[in-house]
Structure 1
């Protein structure tokens, strides 16, 4: 049967060569002859590669991270530094923890989708009762990081949710203790003091934790959300204060204007006083300068003027004032014209 089939295909092959018709493709020749030792090596290498892919006996720690090595469920005391580390599959396992700065935002109105991400957590705002029992919401941002040198001990003591056991409860407790000391309407006024007390309290409390599991970077007090009635009361107080300040400014302006006028009046009075004193001093000097000889000389000068007048008008009559003082009066009898001559 086999020979008949071969003869059939050979016949078809000869016919196709003679007629230039269709030629069937030749099947490739594969040599399956391989010794057992070489085949075993290939299977061994393939199995080892497959084991590496599945077991992954190494781990790469990136910068800003630490590796917590667990051997049969027990954590090693020293964390793995950034780099390549080989482990024993199925016996050892590495848990990677973040040692970069992490953030917790305590807020109610923050968009969680846009603010959550690598190392950023969003939690509800901290609700606090003030000194009189009124509810107040505090929005806060806390920045912190895992202590890289003690990362393995921290995870061993607190677990991988260490920040929910250390940072979050401490922040809430400190905020309640600080804000509870004040009345709601005084919180905005004491904002800076409250922010300093909150940061100082959280930093001190976190620093007192055993083995220093976390390092606090900063605490920012973002918003103090007051009840609506308290807000309205604060607004009324602010308006009243503004009115009082405006009235005080008007009073101060009136005082300044009155003082200005008083100063100007005092200046005028002082000027008149100085002028009067100067005039009096001048009169005193003039009075002191008039001597009997000077008066006699002035009388002689006036008498000379009358003598000159008598030369031109011999009918004139001269009247001398008592005591010989000047001026003298002379009358022209011809023209009935009276003149008054004053000494200069």
Structure 2
């Protein structure tokens, strides 16, 4: 009997303390970077609580806090290009809940985890597949920024329907199949060999052209010399080479000196 009475008193005291705690804390604090979703008996209200302290009615009102700060989501997705090459992409998305729509987001979707799993990941995968399908594998390499802009614009418009804003999207890595990588490498090697062969052919052509020009120059020089050589010039050149001694002509008879005029003719 005494034990039962003591147990009832303890239960009453616990309930009393619980009620006192509820009625002594008629406040809700929303921290920086958060918005409070105000609910009345579990029903989401139109009012969104901003940062700071707010008066609520205990038991009747509850508050669910959602972060409206920029959040990062990493995802890896697979897609096929226009020419049916399979790729995988590592994407980083920065996003945030539109603050004034926090109550609607919570009511229709749920908290941050639900937003990522139900909305962001599926939307990002679908948008990436749709944009990648517009480009060939080669175009993805040279038009990466254009493709990124397409993903950004399409995803922004799609998530706006759920009151989620896209702050930035980054295509961190794009991975191609091993077969495509080997084909690209072979193509690059072939292009390098073609450029090398072209350089060798051009070099040979220039060298042959230089030899022809040199031969033409030498022939022209010889022609000019021939046209301008006169007996007077030849005589002058012979005198310039003469050492001043007249040669002696030996024949049948006595020795005699060669006549200067005849000597010059020898040169």
TM-score range, shorter chain: 0.5 to 0.7
Residues 49, 156 of structure 1: CA spacing in aligned structure 2 closer, same or farther, 3 A cutoff?
closer
Greater fraction of residues in strand: 2
The 1-side partners of 2:257 and 2:178 are apart by: 103
Which residue does 1:276 correspond to in 2? 224
Which residue does 2:90 correspond to in 1? 139
Residues 341, 228 of structure 1: CA spacing in aligned structure 2 closer, same or farther, 3 A cutoff?
closer
How much has 1:250 moved relative to structure 2? 2.3
Number of corresponding residues = 224
1:203-249: CA deviation from partner (whole Å, max 9, x where unpaired): 23334x2xx61111111112222222222222222222222222223
TM-score, normalized by length of structure 1?
Answer: 0.54
1:219-238 matched pairs, under 5 angstroms: 219-238=169-188
Which residue does 1:174 correspond to in 2? 127
Higher RCO by CA contacts (8 Å cutoff, separation 6 or greater): 2
Q: Which has the larger radius of gyration?
A: 1
SS, match of residue 77 in structure 1: strand
The 1-side partners of 2:169 and 2:103 are apart by: 26
1:200-211 matched pairs, under 5 angstroms: 200-207=153-160, 209=161
Which residue does 1:103 correspond to in 2? 72
TM-score, normalized by length of structure 2?
Answer: 0.67
What is the root-mean-square deviation of aligned Cα atoms in Å?
3.6
Which residue does 2:20 correspond to in 1? 51
The 2-side partners of 1:198 and 1:340 are apart by: 102
Which residue does 1:29 correspond to in 2? none
1:1-344 matched pairs, under 5 angstroms: 51-52=20-21, 56-106=25-75, 125-131=76-82, 133-160=84-111, 161-184=114-137, 187-207=140-160, 209=161, 213-261=163-211, 272=221, 276=224, 280=228, 337=257, 339-340=259-260
Q: Flag structure 2 segments of 5+ consecutive residues without an equivalent.
A: 1-15, 233-254, 263-267
How much has 1:276 moved relative to structure 2? 3.2
Kindly indicate whether the alpha-carbon contact (under 8 Å) linking 1:63 and 1:82 is maintained by their aligned counterparts in 2: yes
